[in-house]
Amino acid sequence: MTIADVQVQIQRICRPTFQSELQEALDAQLRTLAVTSIQAALEQALREELSAHLAQQAHPPYRSGYFQRQTDTLYGHIPNLSVPKLRTGNADRDWHILVRYQSALQGLLDRALYAYTLGLSVRDLQELLFLFMGHLFSASAVNRVTVAAQAPMDAWRQQPLRETPPIIIVDGVWVHIQYPTGETWVDKSGHTRRKTHSQERVILAALGVWPDHRHYLLHYEVALAEEATAWAAFWQHLLDRQLDAAAVQMVVSDGTKGLLEVLPTYLPQAQWQRCTVHKVRGFERYLRYRDLPTTDAQTGQPLTKEQATEQRRQQMKAEALDIFTAPTQVEAETRLAAFETKWANLEPEALHNFKWGIHRCFTFYQFAPELHELIRSSNLLERFFREFRNKSDEIGAFPNEDSCLAVFHLVMVREHAKHDRVDFAKTG
């Protein structure tokens, strides 16, 4: 990757979410994350510089803890930067890292670290730090910097929940992440590189909904697949964060079998609400398009087979979705009966698939009518996933799981701030 490629990539990744375009609440949160990341990177870089200095000494002095310094970043003040010190010779040492950072390259380094949390690879960051600092850090050193920079995000995922929502919507979004193969290769410069291979993983996520219409993301994690073992670990992690299993009354999801297997074990009081949108999508592949009309019923204009097929599909979808917009379950079941009568002879396979287990789609009627639109499907979570996909599609394959979760976290912060849900997930 050339320097020009890196520049274009930084501009492309940062443009949709950079601070100047965001609301004040989001700006404050991202600045806090950026300052924390920059401090972690500087402190790791100072330790690396001192280690390199000591390695050149025949009789190096002993280390002697740290002293505190203050410095300013593009995003805020660092009052307590930890600088490593030696038992002797501290006054004679010039810290090249701090001199370069404070003299001319502060804003560039800040933006580079911020860009990493939005998806730049470790190798990209290694190249950028070399340009900014004049010193080539090893890949392992850069990894230590980025891991430390992501500590605040990891801390959020481990904080205890202050309250448990009665309704939880869960779903997964698939991503590509690079994983080491165990093999190596030598680049043109003679450096040994680890071979990686892009693999599919799923980010499982839970969104809580409260009776007063509040809804926040509660938890997310990377898993191999949407299978029982992954969902079991997911719910156990939420219980470890003090989720009250007895307080969860309903879980909304698509028809994932692995989730249904473990729900009775981890949330014994919770009923299942089958996502109505996924239910309607499911019967489309069973449509056989028998006895298609040749003319439009409203305009009388002739229809091609393709037009008639699309009209049938859209009409059945609209009528099926309309069932779940009924104000009561009794009315919904009345609409279902009319739907069955209309389509039983034309689309029996699709109708059979739609009706199979449809009682699971009516669980939401046990809650207040004003909540129905929020909880009868997983649309609230799907909307967030669309925002994340916009970013992940630009990045392609994430360089590692940490980078993937960092982007997911920042998109979460951005979305909650956009919708005035700054105190997301009610964590401590």
Task: Kindly report, residue by residue over 297-343, the tens digit of the pLDDT.
Answer: 888 899 999 999 999 999 999 999 999 999 999 999 999 999 999 99
**Which of 66-70, 218-222, 233-237 has the least mean pLDDT?**
66-70
Residue 82 token pair: 């930890």
Q: Is residue 410 part of a domain?
A: no
Q: Is residue 240 part of a domain?
A: yes
**Which of 84-88, 90-94, 341-345, 402-406 has the least mean pLDDT?**
90-94
Mean pLDDT of the chain: 81
**Same domain, yes or no, for 93 and 213?**
no
> What pLDDT, on the 0 to 100 scale, is given for residue 98?
62
Q: Is residue 428 part of a domain?
A: no
**Same domain, yes or no, for 134 and 171?**
no
**Same domain, yes or no, for 207 and 243?**
yes
> What pLDDT, on the 0 to 100 scale, is given for residue 296?
87
**Same domain, yes or no, for 192 and 278?**
yes
**Same domain, yes or no, for 88 and 182?**
no
Q: What number is the average pLDDT over the span 214-221?
A: 93
Q: Are 400 and 149 in contact (CB under 8 A)?
A: no
More confident residue, 377 or 141: 377
Percent of the chain with pLDDT over 90: 45
**Same domain, yes or no, for 19 and 99?**
yes
Tens digits of residue pLDDT in 271-295: 999 999 999 999 999 999 999 999 9
Q: Is residue 13 part of a domain?
A: yes
Tens digits of residue pLDDT in 344-366: 999 999 999 999 999 999 999 99
Q: Is residue 102 part of a domain?
A: yes
**Same domain, yes or no, for 127 and 37?**
yes
Q: Is residue 203 part of a domain?
A: yes
**Same domain, yes or no, for 308 and 203?**
yes
Q: Is the pLDDT of residue 161 over 60?
A: yes
**Same domain, yes or no, for 258 and 116?**
no
More confident residue, 182 or 109: 182
Tens digits of residue pLDDT in 253-269: 998 889 999 999 999 99
pLDDT band at 146; cut points 50, 70, 90: low
From CA 22, how far away is CA 18, in angstroms rounded? 7
Q: What number is the average pLDDT over the span 86-93?
A: 73
Q: Is residue 392 part of a domain?
A: no
From CA 227, how far away is CA 211, in angstroms rounded? 30
Q: What number is the average pLDDT over the span 204-233?
A: 95
> What pLDDT, on the 0 to 100 scale, is given for residue 131?
61
Q: What number is the average pLDDT over the span 169-179?
A: 94
Last-in-domain residue among 98, 121, 149 = 149
More confident residue, 51 or 247: 247
Question: How many domains, in total, are found in the chain?
Answer: 2
Residue range(s) defining the domain that contains residue 116: 3-149
Q: Is the pLDDT of residue 149 over 80?
A: no
More confident residue, 411 or 218: 218
From CA 275, how far away is CA 207, in angstroms rounded? 14
> What pLDDT, on the 0 to 100 scale, is given for residue 400?
83
Tens digits of residue pLDDT in 115-137: 554 445 566 666 766 665 555 65
CA angle 227, 200, 138 (to 5 degrees): 125
pLDDT band at 37; cut points 50, 70, 90: confident
**Same domain, yes or no, for 122 and 7?**
yes
Tens digits of residue pLDDT in 359-400: 999 999 999 999 999 999 999 999 989 988 887 887 788 888
Give buried/exposed letters for 136-174 (b at 16+ CB in 10 A, else e): ebeeebbbbbbebbbebbeebbeeebeebbbbbbbbbbe
Which of 30-39, 50-59, 93-102, 325-334 has the highest average model confidence (pLDDT)?
325-334
From CA 156, how far away is CA 161, in angstroms rounded? 10
Q: Is the pLDDT of residue 59 over 80?
A: no
Q: Is residue 321 part of a domain?
A: yes
Q: What number is the average pLDDT over the span 132-145?
A: 57
Q: How many helices (H) and strands (E) does the chain have?
A: 16, 8
> What pLDDT, on the 0 to 100 scale, is given for residue 200?
95
**Same domain, yes or no, for 49 and 108?**
yes
Q: Is the pLDDT of residue 17 over 50?
A: no
The three-class DSSP label of residue 86 is strand
> What pLDDT, on the 0 to 100 scale, is given for residue 66?
86
**Which of 30-44, 118-132, 231-245, 345-359 has the least mean pLDDT?**
118-132
CB-based contacts of 164, cutoff 8 Å, min separation 6? 208, 243, 244, 247, 248
How big is the chain by its Cα radius of gyration, in Å? Answer: 27
> What pLDDT, on the 0 to 100 scale, is given for residue 106?
44
**Same domain, yes or no, for 208 and 259?**
yes
